[in-house]
A = this chain, B = another copy of it.
Amino acid sequence: MANNKLVINPWKSIDVKDYNKLMKDFGIKKINPKNLPDNLYFRRGIIFGEKSLNLITVALEKNKPFVMMTGLMPSGKFHFGHKIIADLMIYFQQLGAECYIAVADVEAYLTRGIPLDKSRELAINEYLINYIALGLKPEKTKFYFQSEGAIDYMNLSKYVSKKTTYNELKSIYGEITPEKIISAFTQVADILHPQLSSYGGPKPIVVPVGVDQLPHINLTRDIAGRMKSDYKFIPPSAIFTKLMPGLKGDKMSSSDPYSYIALSEDPKEAAKKIKKHAFSGGQATIEEHRKKGGNPDIDVAFQMLLFGLEPDDKKLQQIYNDYKSGKLLSGELKQITIDKMTTFLTEHQKKRVKAQAQVKKFMAKV
């Protein structure tokens, strides 16, 4: 691996400065949104790249089965950073994908020391409930815990070890420990097991992931190829999303409640957070702002609109232009975001209450 090549460690948050370099270094293709039904995240470049996505578009065209697979690491409140992947899960489910959602409770225990019962509680009461409130159809979803996987899946997470080396793991992950090796192999099994014969055999799988999960995708794709003779696995497809910036403009982190807004948050609290903490791209004074204009590309209130709070592209463009020209002040931009956020949270939390009953019913069957 070249010295200047980025190494992504999925167990640490990353901050990508140059997506073009990243795409070149990791062989990620630029996404062509024309190949797939309309989606805000495609349109706005939030999904910036893909691997083998053509397998999914072909399956769609030919009306063949395909799988959407994703995992969740139950590390805290479900927030807007998580919403992107949830929306994409739902998007693929609506396109006809069979949905698999792995709760990475084993990984959470191994790499973060989170007890299994705590993971379980968070996965159900933070993640699953929000997924359903956002539109996931639980009856068409295979929601499982890594610690409760079926035997074929468990064994697969061991068999994949045959198809890689320590040096490869080190070059992919940058640093590696026994528990990270186990976590990585478990993730490989998560992604590949829907192709086992007990799950209906080989089929295309799309994994929507934040770019921080790229190493797992690469390892899985390589291992899938090397297992071809035994399992006929099709290397999984992936789409990669940019990471939503945290409230303060740097990384969003489950451990810092002032870095994110949770979907269960009181709208008034959320408004306060945005007013007080959201990193602004505006100038120091109104006068200066009117003259020089703001920078929407680093303004977190604007980013929130971009990442979905303002679904109308034209309106978004207008806000962008007005902010950049100095016509729209930081406080005004924040107020637009706060209004949108208040509406969203209020509506969503009503759906969340409804989802509660569905969650109970669903978990009784899991």
Which residues on A are within 8 Å of B, measured CB to CB? 106, 109-110, 147-148, 151, 154-155, 157-159, 161-162, 164-166, 169, 176-179, 181-182, 185-186
Contacts and interface: CB of A to CB of B under 8 A. Distances in A.
B147 A155 contact: yes
A162 B178 CA distance: 7
B165 A106 contact: no
Contact of A148 (B151, B165, B181): B151
A182 B155 contact: no
15 contacts: A106-B155, A109-B162, A110-B159, A110-B162, A147-B151, A151-B154, A157-B158, A158-B182, A161-B179, A161-B181, A161-B182, A165-B178, A166-B177, A166-B178, A178-B185
Given A106-B155, A110-B162, 17 more contacts: A106-B158, A106-B159, A109-B159, A110-B159, A147-B151, A147-B155, A148-B151, A151-B154, A158-B182, A161-B177, A161-B178, A161-B181, A162-B178, A166-B166, A166-B176, A178-B181, A178-B185
Contacts of A155: 106, 147
Count copies of this chain in the complex: 2
Contacts of A106: 155, 158-159
Contact of A110 (B109, B158, B169): B158
A179 B166 CA distance: 10
Given A151-B148, A159-B109, A181 B179 contact: no
A151 B116 CA distance: 14
Contacts of A157: 158
Contacts of A161: 110, 177-179, 181-182
Contact of A177 (B154, B165, B178, B185): B165
Nearest to A105: B155
Nearest to A184: B178
Nearest to A169: B178
A179 B151 contact: no
A186 B158 contact: yes
B179 A182 contact: no
Which 8 interchain pairs have the tightest Cβ spacing? A161-B178, A161-B182, A161-B179, A154-B154, A158-B182, A162-B179, A147-B155, A164-B178
A177 B166 CA distance: 6
A248 to B, nearest CB: 32
A213 to B, nearest CB: 20
Contacts of A176: 166
A182 to B, nearest CB: 4
